[in-house]
Amino acid sequence: MTRIAVGGFLHETNTFAPTKATYEAFVHGGGWPSMTHGADVLKVMRGINVGLAGFVEEAEARGWELIPTIACGASPSAHVTEDAYERIVGEMIDGIRKAMPLDAVYLDLHGAMVTEHLDDGEGEIARRVREVIGPDIPFVVSLDLHGNISPESVEYTDALIAYRTYPHVDMADTGRACARHMELLLAGNRFAKAFRQLPFLIPISWQCTNDEPTKRIYQMLAAIEHDQVPTLSFCPGFPAADFEHCCPSVFAYGVTQADADAAADTVVNLVLGHENDFDGKIWQPDEGVLHAMELAKTLDKPVVIADTQDNPGAGGDSDTTGMLRALVKNKAIKAAHGVIYDPAAAKAAHEAGEGATVKLSIGGKSGIPGDAPYENTFVVEKLSDGKFVAPGPYYGGRDMDMGPSACLRIDDVRVVISSHKAQLADQAMYRYVGIEPTEQNILVNKSSVHFRADFEPIAGQLMICAAPGAMPADTSVLPWKHLRPGIKLKPNGAPFTPDTASPTLAP
């Protein structure tokens, strides 16, 4: 029986974010399933939208024996601590070593992990795996399309295969694609590799695959694949990791080197031809709320606003208050905002009880320039233990645990307060505290793009607002120091040079 070691370790690192990812963050998981070890990995990683779950499904259909090591992820944040990285990778590598002899290894990684002691977390994982298994055993990795891919990750693996949707509704599908490619490798095929890094950063707000130009790029990418080029990936990258390989990339695998090179260059030229198109309208908080209020007068569905700069899916702490202030200041009607992470405020709401009126200072604890706690008197409308299922297409039926949570109301504005962080990418993240999202005029989600998978069907219009946060919508304002010299800081932007780096985050 074919024996394959499997595991997962996912983190998207914003090196400018306020909070690091500790071992405990991976134990809990945030929006990911909580950490699982050994045989429990195969019990948890089923029927959910995660790369490893898709691989397990396909592998078992082929009769492969799977030897699980460890599976975990944590909400995007600042660097993964050295302690967390070494403990998790140590368990993964030790599991692979003990499972030898093996026929193959599959890992579900992210591609944009930076640690306290390593710029390229995934490249080092790949190196350590290859050191254990030797040069000939197939090694395949699934990646987030936000991966900042290094030459080392390409060198030490036989194939990297990235998601093709943002919102990431195809994470499990990508795991299945890895299994299909693994089957080719197990049959004795070996493929030439082509790897390209692109010359400009792409802000995440304009990477959405529901919209142009990214939608067309991925359609063309899929059309290029054929027997001579069985897999081809484009990563727009995660433009908030300050190291030399932070950039978009393309990687292709072909029967010949010429096949791989031709496919990669075709995609690169397609992306370069759309540089002007990676842009769009971003509203300031007050003007955005006022515009949404006007739109709501004629729409029968909510206006859904992305609070993009405090997206916990991009390293924000999900606690800035700029959009809440704008909603209250402008007297928005039937408006809801979520999720603000504030365990102390959630605890105070639970102590006060449903129906109580309580003065609270919520959010604003991350030290983001231009942000501060919001103090006011709220009505505690609904309390929750924070446990629910998120059935939408992004979370894909995951069990969520937001910890003690509350719906607080001020005037006709409701805000979801939680004790754990997770990106608001599912309608259930309003419903679990008694807010029906389809009945609101305005919804403000702490997310950039993932929310669209579940909210576009109920939205009258989508907008993007830029209140203060850890993930600027304009990548050129980040205080870069370690990028590859010459890369443009945004599409058609100025090239990076260390002596012209921005000194501080923009407010």
What pLDDT digit, counting tens, does each position of 434-491 carry? 999 999 999 999 999 999 999 999 999 999 999 999 888 999 999 999 999 999 999 9
- Is residue 31 over pLDDT 90? no
Q: Angle between the 171-186 and 51-61 helix axes, to the nearest 10 degrees?
A: 40
User: Residue range 359-363: average pLDDT?
Assistant: 97
Question: pTM surpassing 0.85?
Answer: yes
Contacts of 53 (CB under 8 A, 6+ apart): 45, 46, 47, 172, 175
- Is residue 254 over pLDDT 90? yes
> DSSP label at 411?
T
Q: Are 102 and 139 in contact (CB under 8 A)?
A: no
Contacts of 233 (CB under 8 A, 6+ apart): 143, 145, 160, 161, 162, 164, 221, 250, 251, 252
Instruction: Label residue 504 by pLDDT band (50, 70, 90).
Output: very low
Residue-level pLDDT at 502: 47
User: Residue range 403-432: average pLDDT?
Assistant: 97
Residue-level pLDDT at 379: 98
Residue-level pLDDT at 25: 96
Instruction: Please write the tens of the pLDDT for every residue from 299-325.
Output: 999 999 999 999 998 888 999 999 999
HSE (CB half, 13 Å, CA atoms) of 341?
Answer: 20
Rounded Cα–Cα distance for residues 38 and 71 (Å): 9
Nearest to 125 by CA among 272, 280, 112, 137: 112
Residue-level pLDDT at 83: 98
Both tokens of 295, joined, read 């739109």
- Is residue 175 over pLDDT 70? yes
Residue-level pLDDT at 376: 97
Rounded Cα–Cα distance for residues 176 and 142 (Å): 9
User: Residue range 209-232: average pLDDT?
Assistant: 96
Count CB neighbours of 310 within 10 A: 31
- Is residue 105 over pLDDT 50? yes
Q: Are 420 and 340 in contact (CB under 8 A)?
A: no
Amino acid, single-letter form, for residue 193: K
Residue-level pLDDT at 66: 98
Nearest to 218 by CA among 144, 150, 163, 146: 163
* Residue whose token pair is 């030898």: 100
Listing DSSP states for 267-287 in one string gives HHHHHHTTGGGS----B-HHH
Both tokens of 125, joined, read 């994982």
Q: Are 142 and 168 in contact (CB under 8 A)?
A: no
Amino acid, single-letter form, for residue 464: I
- Burial class, 504, CB count within 10 angstroms (exposed 0-12 / middle 13-18 / buried 19+): exposed
- Is residue 499 over pLDDT 70? yes
Highest mean pLDDT (candidates 278-287, 307-316, 392-401, 412-421): 412-421
C-alpha R_g of the chain = 22
Instruction: Please write the tens of the pLDDT for every residue from 128-147.
Output: 999 999 999 999 999 999 99
Residue-level pLDDT at 500: 56
Residue-level pLDDT at 498: 85
Residue-level pLDDT at 313: 85
Rounded Cα–Cα distance for residues 439 and 265 (Å): 48
Q: Are 484 and 461 in contact (CB under 8 A)?
A: no
Share of the chain above pLDDT 90, in %: 93
Nearest to 415 by CA among 387, 453, 441, 382: 382
Instruction: Label residue 414 by pLDDT band (50, 70, 90).
Output: very high
Q: What backbone phi and psi angles, to 5 degrees, belong to 18?
A: -85, -20
Q: Angle between the 82-99 and 121-133 helix axes, to the nearest 10 degrees?
A: 20
Count CB neighbours of 67 within 10 A: 20
Q: How far apart are the first and last CA of the chain?
A: 58
* Residue whose token pair is 């408006």: 335
* Residue whose token pair is 């990911």: 32
Rounded Cα–Cα distance for residues 432 and 384 (Å): 7
* Mean pLDDT, the chain, whole residue set: 95
Rounded Cα–Cα distance for residues 426 and 83 (Å): 32
> DSSP label at 330?
T
Contacts of 79 (CB under 8 A, 6+ apart): 13, 15, 20, 21, 114, 115, 116
Nearest to 10 by CA among 104, 128, 129, 92: 92
- Is residue 199 over pLDDT 90? yes
Cis ω for the linkage preceding 373 (within 30 of 0): no
Rounded Cα–Cα distance for residues 153 and 125 (Å): 8
